[in-house]
Amino acid sequence: MFEQHLPGYTEAFKTASWIVRESLHYRFHYFAGSLAEREIDHVVETQEDAHAAVLSFLNLSDPNHRISYYLYPDTDTKKQLMGNPWFAQSIYNDFAIHALYTEEHRVIGPHEDTHLLSLPFGLSVGFIQEGLAERMVGHDWFGDSFAGTVRSVVQEEGFAPSADFLVSHKAWLDTPDDFARQYYALAALFADYLIARFGKEMYFKLYSALQRDATPSKNGEQYKSILGIEPDALFADFMSGLAS
């Protein structure tokens, strides 16, 4: 069983009146008359393409069961049925994704799927885990480049990137929501940086070695052991590259 930080999570969604559509790798749940129902063919195609792209990048085989995908027509319904109004969450132990699907926020694509399909590598610390998932998307939440999004706020008070992200899951959880988009973009850029500098094999070795419940010093030792560099020095080099 995987430990998950999701305050307020509830399973009221299990008794809701869903319409269900199955595809090769998914079981989609949505409501009659919803935008998701009208666009379900597009949703199926998008997710099947994402599923294939993620597994190809991870070099992993198909899991032996489908991903359950719950599509909500608004934030109030999502909060009522699963306990959280945020854009989307993947529930590791249920192999399920809960996401908004509205005119403003069609939250589909590879991000949440990456969290589930990468579980054979374990649960890395949040900055590293979210970096992989966001990298698979290829752009920020609004379709902008990761670098542009980060550089637009790098001098703003309240945006405070830290090497603590590399070793502490709590440090990632404590980032302010006001800069969530920018921190996710930063995480994606760091994933790109690691892969470009050390290669995918070493990246995934590090990803698997970092443990959410380990102390920062213990996680820090993994950087030195696997990559041959202390996390502070690694992060400083990464940030200097963003400034150039």
Contact 21, 28 (CB under 8 A): yes
Residue 13 — pLDDT band, cuts 50, 70, 90? very high
What confidence tier does 95 reach under pLDDT thresholds 50, 70, 90?
Answer: very high
pLDDT at 221: 98
Counting runs of H as helices and runs of E as strands, what totals does the chain give?
Answer: 11, 5
State the maximum Cα–Cα separation within the chain, in Å, rounded to a whole number.
Answer: 55
* Averaged confidence pLDDT in the chain: 96
CA distance 28 to 240: 43
Q: For residue range 102-156, what is the model confidence (pLDDT) as tens digits? A: 999 999 999 999 999 999 999 999 999 999 999 999 999 999 999 999 999 988 9
What is the arithmetic mean of pLDDT over 212-217? 95
Residues contacting 99, CB < 8 A, separation 6+: 69, 70, 71, 72, 87, 88, 89, 107, 108, 112
176: tokens are 């302010």
CB 121 within 8 A of CB 99: no
Instruction: Write down all domains in the chain, each with its CATH number in brackets.
Output: 12-121 (3.40.30.160), 126-243 (no CATH)
Under a CB-based contact definition with an 8 Å cutoff, are residues 235 and 131 in contact?
no
pTM of the model: 0.95
Residue in the block written with tokens 């959280």 = 84
Q: How far, in whole angstroms, is CA 133 from its chain's centroid?
A: 4
Cα dihedral 223→226→229→232 (10° resolution): -10
Count of CB atoms within 10 A of residue 18's CB? 17
